[in-house]
Structure 1
């Protein structure tokens, strides 16, 4: 009996050692995608480690640009980035997976104002106001409102009295709710997710408009990553909605799963970038 126990213990220790000694897979996350759910991300990391049978590190950065730079320098293996950030670098990066929200691989841009503002009915009603953006590389929190202004023959550089970046979709809601900004643009997914957990905050804002759907911010990988590492991570993410623990994590992330998407999904973002001159 003691011999069997020792064999089991030895095998277990060898298994743990092999996992600990394996090179970690590094995944970049930004403030815009974290939404303050650090405990949840730790559980997600642990889940990925179990499924991949190797260490996983989440590397946090303030902006999409910082994550992209780390990918280019081979200091990250994967990153969850904005749609424009992916499209600008699609020749250097590979599309890993796209999240599903409400069954579709899409997000929308929400234009929000304080709930006390009953007058504003469109972006044009906000001329000479203080406006909050998320990140220069955000489609929903930056690109879309600027594109809409250009479509209305307005200059985005001079339309608002003042603009600033929050680097975080939830902070757009807070900035508008407390009056730091008169309005802001953000991810509809982020607003909807916050409304589930903190309706006391979102109730202090009002959605003025919802945009057409755009490709959901994807997970990308550096081109130099080995095919086996790419396939392993892709497989684990795609199969999350078929696994009880994965389903629980997806529910808390407010996502339905992940799919292998095509670059064509991001044509709407490409169109906006061409119009604005970012490409």
Structure 2
């Protein structure tokens, strides 16, 4: 969609919501209508998403949304994905970006009180990401089978590419992730997983990769973020297995907030790449990226995978009991 079209959409949204400009510096006591009802826009940011860059990225969104909505915008950081999910479910947040699994968790708790509305898309049209199993390039491991009996680092129980999706995909290939690897542990974040692999804590780790395909290669993801900072070299690592793609992590919003607030926020986010393209660089998004509309249907597969994972966990104790390895 052309920049002028997005700008027209934004202006219409702002007009219909009763705003006279793209922002407001009114104190809370002078707010009226839906602005007074909402009072403050609270955004959730998980430190597990991108380590130290999380706060800087969300500060950019914070300034932009404050200017457009006329509200005070606060960013709340949680140490992991579950913290964001619980804060959203308890009504302490209005907006967040979540992975597929985290959204599935929130959806199960909140129903239609939370909905996805936008996800990023690259200039080339890529709107999904992959789970990549990586090893050090100086290791002897070149295939998934080579990692049988080796140690593995997951990201987080609520991570899609770092836990749920690869486990589901392995099972589809006839591999039981709970017995295939000798030991597993959570790193707490995508970049933390890469650094743990670099330090020899695991033989392999899962990470997210995007901006390409397994055939063309990737240009974005935790490994590439660290490489751009100079913390690692991409050539020091090797991808031995991938699963995907999954639709990009959605921005989600509470639907029990005033409709005018939802309309302004959604319109502002959709128009950002066109209304303030310089901010896309600050957001660490690839040149030419924008946001595309999404719906709950786009993320139903994540809900289904999460339910399947829970069913597997519940079945495991019963299976151990039946073969005598555990008591009922």
Does TM-score exceed 0.5, indicating one fold?
yes
State the TM-score, normalizing by the size of structure 2. 0.72
Paired with 2:194 and 2:117, the residues of 1 have a C-alpha distance of 30
Query: 1:139–1:152: structure 2 CA closer, same or farther, 3 Å change rule?
Result: same
Compared CA separation, residues 100 and 88, structure 1 to 2 (3 A): same
Q: CA deviation at 1:201?
A: 4.2
Task: Give the aligned partner of residue 101 of structure 2.
Answer: 84
- Summarize deviations over 1:51-103 as a string: whole Å, max 9, x none: 22221111101222211111111111112111022123332411132222453
**Number of the residue aligned with 1:266:** 299
Structure 2 residue matching 1:188: 3-state secondary structure: strand
Q: Deviations over 1:208-229 (max 9, x none)?
A: 2232210111111223222122
Cα displacement (A) at 1:120: 2.4
Residue 278 of structure 1: how far off its partner (Å): 5.5
Q: Which runs of 4 or more aligned residues in structure 1 lie more than 4 Å from their structure 2 counterparts after TM superposition? A: 19-22
2:290 to 224, 242, 257: 257
Retained in 2: the 8 A contact 1:215–1:269?
no
2:277 maps to which residue? Answer: 247
Secondary structure in 1 matching 2:277 = helix
Q: CA deviation at 1:265?
A: 2.1
Q: 1:118-160: per-residue Cα shift (whole Å, max 9, x none)?
A: 43212x3212211111111111100122123322333322322
| Number of aligned residues | 262
SS of equivalent residue, structure 2 residue 138: coil
Aligned CA distance change for structure 1 residues 277 and 46 (closer, same or farther; 3 Å): same
Describe how 1:46-125 pairs up with structure 2 within 5 A: 46-90=63-107, 91=111, 92-101=113-122, 102-122=124-144, 124-125=145-146
2: CA distance, partners of 1:96 / 1:231: 11
Residues 20 and 54 in structure 1, CA contact (< 8 A), matched pair in contact too: no
Q: Are 2:127 and 2:247, in contact at CA under 8 Å, matched by a contact in 1? A: yes
Q: Partner of 1:18 in structure 2? A: 27
The partner residue of 2:264 within 227, 232, 236 is 232
- Cα distance change of structure 1 residues 39 and 271 upon mapping to structure 2, 3 Å threshold: closer
CA RMSD of aligned residues (A): 2.4
- Tell me how far apart the structure 2 counterparts of residues 278 and 137 of structure 1 sit (CA, whole Å): 15
2:225 pairs with 1:204: no
Corresponding residue for 1:11?
A: none
Q: Which residue of 1 aligns with 2:218?
A: none
5+ residue gaps, structure 2: 1-23, 32-38, 211-220, 313-328
Q: Is the 8 A contact 2:151 2:184 kept in 1?
A: yes
Q: Which residue of 1 aligns with 2:16?
A: none
The answer on whether the counterparts of 1:177 and 1:201 sit within 8 Å (CA) in structure 2 is no
Q: CA deviation at 1:25?
A: 0.3
So what's the TM-score if we normalise by structure 1? 0.84
Change (3 A) 1:103 1:167: farther
Distance 1:17 1:52, change over 3 A: closer
SS in 2 for 1:203: helix
Q: Does 1:155 align with 2:176?
A: yes
Deviations 1:16-58 (A, max 9, x none): 3436976220011102324311334323321221222221111
- The answer on 1:131 being equivalent to 2:137 is no
* Gapped regions of structure 1 (runs ≥ 5): 1-14
Q: Does the residue aligned with 1:195 lie in a helix, a strand or coil?
A: helix
Aligned to 1:3: none
